[in-house]
Structures are given as structure tokens and as C-alpha cells.
């Protein structure tokens, strides 16, 4: 009997626990999953072209939360998954270009209980900062040779100032004999400040055209010599070094524009190339000094430029007969003469105004009956003349080697062109360069 009581007690303890209370309660059921809830929406972002843009969202809800960022390029009409890593609470775009402006971004957040879509945030892309760069031609095309061979002179490029609307036009400047683009930065900066893309183009310019042709008996000497440099075409004239097509002015410009677009796509250099990779000359203001100005004239006879501008140029003159080269008169203009402009110094002895004026007349550049307009003390539009002149002295700080070179550079060379009391190039401040190049 006693043993039975003990066993009953043991069974009671096993069943009810010590003290004989009630049974063990079941664990509470897990809480129901909470769907995602956005606590901070993505915000609109404004960035400069050439930088990235970042968007962020904050959400609550049962974890884990998954994210998928989406992009609309048509104002929110359609949406697709954003490119790159786009599955976190933050999203960063690729390097932006002006084409990104107006794109919208949103994010879909999901978990086991459902999903929610954020508000759309708009991206605004403002123009890139204006940047001046020096780029060797040999960097843009391995088939090119350095010019000069010892100590290559780099191209200079400047994208437009973001302070003004981009004009969709390109200033290309060709230096004079043995000149370097870095010696003509004032005119390039003047263009960029007015919304132009600007290029100072290096090319094979070590030999003056006059050295090759001024005593030649060949009436086509200047035309042929310039075509060799511009296009890499035709046989060199006597004593002229060959120029390959790769080293020609045209190819150097094409390759530089392609390289700039590839390296700095947000600056939109490709707008100056056609679909086949050639230059869209209709968007090019082509200007040049001395030898470079003569090349401008040949190109104006060969392609339809937006504008052609001659600074102290051209000087294609036969000294043995004291006659001008015939090509400005006999070759038809492809660029209309009313889109061509000349500017010279009365004190220039290397390209005397008497020679320049003859060429400008032969090119068809209009002028008043009284002759080319003196810009000193006058203001644009200079009676709509396409022929301008100045008597301004050279900058007294000029480092050009001779007085002749100093006067020859008055119209556009950095070291010799005069500046105003604030240090601004005079012909930029008084509107001469704008009238010539940037209308």
C-alpha cells in the first residue's frame, strides 16, 4: 500500500509539476509579417555633367527587405531596371552626361508581406565645368608623328563655360608657322566663355609656306603645298616634307574629337562629328593666324564652314613677280564669302595689310567703299564689313623675339595682343573677336 502511494505521488509530480499546479502554457504565436513602409522618400538631385548622382530611401518593415531601383527616361511613362548595382537602399548612377537630365528614379521595396514603390525623384544635369586641357596628338592616334619631332606641341581643348548656354559650335584655331596652340589661349578662352567648344590644333607647321613658294614658278605652289598639310593629299612641292594623311590637319581634328568624346563623354564633343566619324564642318568656326589663316582659306574653298576667320593672313605672295597667289580669286568659295572675316595690323610687316587686303578682296570679303574698317575707337558691327584693321601697338610685355613678330601677333597671339587696364585682351573686351568669330 505504501509503495502504491509513493508511485501515485511520483506520477502526480510528473504530470502537474511540483506543488501539483496546472499544465505548461504553449509559446505565443509569431507576430504577423509587416509589409514595407517608406519613411524617407528619394529626393531630386542636381549634379554637373561628368559626375555621378546618388539617390537613397529609408524603409521599415519585416526584414529582410529587398530593393530594386528603376529608371524612366520618358518622364515616367515607362520604367525599367536601373543599370549597375541597383539592389540596395542607395543607388548611384554612372557618370552623367547632359542626356541624363530629366531622368526619373524610383525604387520598389519588397519583403514576405508585400511590396511598395517609392515616389519618383528627378535628376537634373547641369553643364560640366569649363576645363582647359593639353593633349598630344600622338595620344589620340598612334599613326601620328610628333610635331615638332623634338618636343611635341600639344593641342589645347576647352569645353564651354557652364555660365552660358552651349552654342553647339566649335572654334578650331590653327597657329602660324612654328606656333603652338598654347600661344593662342586667349582666343580659345574667349570662345569657351561664350558657349563655344574650343580647340587649338597642333599640326605640322615647321616650314613657312613662303619658304616653299615665294620664288616658285609654279602658279599652284601655295595651293598644292597647303593641300598636303591640310589633307595629306597630293605630291609635296619642291623642298616640302611629306605629310601623311594621318598627320594631316583634317585627320588630327577628327581623331582629337573622337578621343575627347571617348574620354570626356559628358562634354558632348561628338556633336561635331558626322555618323561616319568625319568633321561636321557646318558647326565649325575655323580661324587661323598667319600660315594657319592661309589653311583656313583653302578649307573655305573645300568645305562649307560655319565661319572662316583670317588673323594677319593669308600671305601667299610670289616675291619674284610681286603678285598674289591665284587660288583666293580663281577657286570657288564653298563657304560663302559673307561668312568669312579678316583682321590685320597696319604695322605688320610679315603679312602686310596691303597683301592681306588683296587676298580678302579676291576671296570676296565685303568692305565699305572707304576700305577695311579701323576697329580702334569703333564698335561692332563695323558697317557690316568683313575686313577689319587695327593700329593698336603690341603689348609692351610681349616676349616675341623681334618687333616684326610682335606686330605680327597683335591681332591674336597671347604674348603680343594688347590688354586693357584689367588685363583682359583688348579685342575680347571691345567686341572685335566676338564680331569676327562668335556671332
pLDDT in tens, 343-368: 999 999 999 999 999 999 999 999 99
Q: Say if residue 82's pLDDT is above 80.
A: yes
The yes-or-no verdict on residue 6 having pLDDT over 50 is no
Task: Read off φ and ψ for residue 112, nearest 5 degrees.
Answer: -65, -20
Residue with cell 575686313: 387
The residue-averaged pLDDT of 410-417 equals 98
Separation of alpha carbons 213 and 224, rounded Å:
10
pLDDT given for residue 421 in this prediction: 94
**pLDDT for residue 5:** 41
Residue 345 grid coordinates: 595690323
Predicted local confidence at residue 7, as pLDDT: 45
> pLDDT value at position 17?
46
132-437: in CATH 1.10.20: no
Cell of 357: 587686303
Q: Do residues 126 and 163 touch, judged by C-beta distance below 8 A?
A: no
Name the grid cell of 34: 509587416
Identical fold between 37-126 and 132-437: no
Query: What's the average model confidence in pLDDT over 306-334?
Result: 98
What is the rounded distance in angstroms from the CA atom of residue 303 to the CA atom of residue 40? 57
Whether 173 contacts 187, CB under 8 Å: yes
pTM (2 d.p.): 0.84
Considering only CA atoms, which of 335, 238, 328, 333 is closest in space to residue 284?
Answer: 335
d(CA 235, CA 221): 11
Cβ pair 138, 277 in contact under 8 A: no
Please tell me the predicted confidence (pLDDT) of residue 31. 85
> CB of 226 within 8 A of CB of 294?
yes
pLDDT at 19 over 50: no
Nearest Cα neighbor of 153 from 313, 320, 292 is 292
What number is the average pLDDT over the span 167-178? 98
**pLDDT-above-90 percentage for the chain:** 90
Evaluate if residue 172 carries a pLDDT over 90.
Answer: yes
- The residue extents of the domains of the chain are 37-126, 132-437
pLDDT at 103 over 60: yes
pLDDT of residue 8 exceeding 60: no
CA atoms within 13 A on the CB side of 418: 15
Q: How many residues in total does the chain contain?
A: 439
Judge whether residue 1 has pLDDT over 60.
no
pLDDT given at position 26: 78
Instruction: Please report which helix (H) or strand (E) contains residue 152, including its range.
Output: none
- CA 234 to CA 213: how far, in whole Å? 16
- 23-48 pLDDT, tens per residue? 567 788 888 999 999 999 999 999 99
CA distance 401 to 383: 36
Per-residue pLDDT tens over the stretch 117-169 = 999 999 999 888 899 999 999 999 999 999 998 899 999 999 999 999 999 99
Task: Tell me if 125 sits within 8 A of 101, measured CB to CB.
Answer: yes
| pLDDT above 80 (res 56) | yes
C-alpha cell recorded at residue 369: 567703299
Instruction: Share the mean pLDDT of the chain.
Output: 94
**Is the model's pLDDT at 2 over the cut of 70?**
no
Q: Which helix (H) or strand (E) holds 389?
A: strand 387-390
Q: Has residue 4 got a pLDDT over 70?
A: no
22 pLDDT exceeds 70?
A: no
Tell me whether strands 340-345 and 317-318 are parallel, antiparallel or unpaired.
unpaired
Residue 98 pLDDT level (bands cut at 50, 70, 90): confident
Residue 374, pLDDT > 90, answer: yes
Task: Note the pLDDT of residue 28.
Answer: 84
In angstroms, the CA 37 to CA 34 distance is 9
Candidate CATH numbers 2.40.10.220, 2.60.40.10, 2.40.50.140, 3.40.190.10; the one for domain 37-126: 2.60.40.10
SS3 content of the chain, % helix, strand, coil (to 5): 30, 20, 50
Q: Give percent of the chain with pLDDT exceeding 70.
A: 95
Cα–Cα distance between 338 and 308 in angstroms, integer?
A: 10
- Give kind and range of the element (H or E) at residue 209: helix 209-213
Amino acid at each position: 500500500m505504501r509503495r502504491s502511494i509513493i508511485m501515485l505521488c511520483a506520477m502526480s509530480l510528473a504530470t502537474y509539476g511540483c506543488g501539483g499546479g496546472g499544465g505548461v502554457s504553449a509559446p505565443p504565436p509569431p507576430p504577423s509579417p509587416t509589409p514595407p513602409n517608406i519613411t524617407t522618400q528619394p529626393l531630386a538631385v542636381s549634379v554637373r555633367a561628368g559626375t555621378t548622382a546618388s539617390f537613397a530611401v529609408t524603409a521599415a518593415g519585416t526584414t529582410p527587405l529587398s530593393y530594386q531601383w528603376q529608371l524612366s527616361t520618358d518622364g515616367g511613362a515607362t520604367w525599367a531596371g536601373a543599370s549597375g548595382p541597383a539592389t540596395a537602399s542607395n543607388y548611384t548612377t554612372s557618370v552623367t552626361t547632359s542626356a541624363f537630365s530629366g531622368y526619373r528614379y524610383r525604387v520598389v521595396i519588397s519583403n514576405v508581406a508585400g511590396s511598395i514603390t517609392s515616389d519618383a525623384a528627378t535628376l537634373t544635369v547641369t553643364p560640366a565645368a569649363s576645363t582647359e586641357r593639353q593633349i598630344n596628338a600622338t595620344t589620340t592616334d598612334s599613326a601620328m608623328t610628333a610635331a615638332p619631332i623634338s618636343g611635341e606641341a600639344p593641342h589645347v581643348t576647352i569645353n564651354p563655360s557652364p555660365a552660358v548656354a552651349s552654342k553647339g559650335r566649335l572654334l578650331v584655331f590653327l597657329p602660324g608657322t612654328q606656333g603652338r596652340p598654347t600661344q593662342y589661349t586667349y582666343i580659345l578662352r574667349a570662345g569657351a566663355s561664350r558657349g563655344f567648344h574650343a580647340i587649338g590644333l597642333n599640326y605640322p607647321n615647321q616650314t613657312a609656306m613662303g619658304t616653299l613658294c615665294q620664288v616658285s614658278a609654279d602658279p599652284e605652289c601655295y595651293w598644292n603645298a597647303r593641300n598636303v598639310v591640310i589633307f595629306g593629299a597630293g605630291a609635296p612641292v619642291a623642298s616640302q616634307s611629306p605629310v601623311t594623311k594621318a598627320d594631316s590637319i583634317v585627320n588630327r581634328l577628327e581623331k582629337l574629337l573622337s578621343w575627347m568624346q571617348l574620354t570626356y563623354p559628358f562634354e558632348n564633343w561628338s556633336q561635331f562629328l558626322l555618323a561616319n566619324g568625319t568633321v561636321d564642318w557646318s558647326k565649325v568656326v575655323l580661324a587661323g593666324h598667319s600660315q594657319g589663316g592661309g589653311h583656313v582659306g583653302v578649307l573655305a574653298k573645300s568645305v562649307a564652314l560655319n565661319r572662316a576667320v583670317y588673323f594677319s593672313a593669308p600671305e601667299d605672295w610670289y616675291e619674284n613677280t610681286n603678285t598674289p597667289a591665284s587660288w583666293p580669286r580663281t577657286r570657288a568659295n564653298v563657304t560663302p564669302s559673307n561668312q568669312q572675316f579678316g583682321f590685320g595690323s597696319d604695322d605688320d610687316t610679315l603679312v602686310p595689310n596691303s597683301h592681306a587686303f588683296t587676298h580678302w578682296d579676291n576671296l570676296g570679303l565685303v568692305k565699305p567703299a572707304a576700305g577695311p574698317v579701323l576697329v580702334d575707337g569703333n564698335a561692332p558691327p563695323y558697317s557690316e564689313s568683313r575686313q577689319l584693321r587695327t593700329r593698336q601697338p603690341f603689348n609692351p610685355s610681349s616676349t616675341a623675339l623681334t618687333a616684326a613678330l610682335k606686330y605680327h601677333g597683335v591681332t591674336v597671339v597671347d604674348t603680343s595682343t594688347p590688354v586693357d587696364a584689367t588685363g583682359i585682351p583688348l579685342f575680347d573686351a571691345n567686341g572685335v573677336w566676338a564680331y569676327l568669330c562668335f556671332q
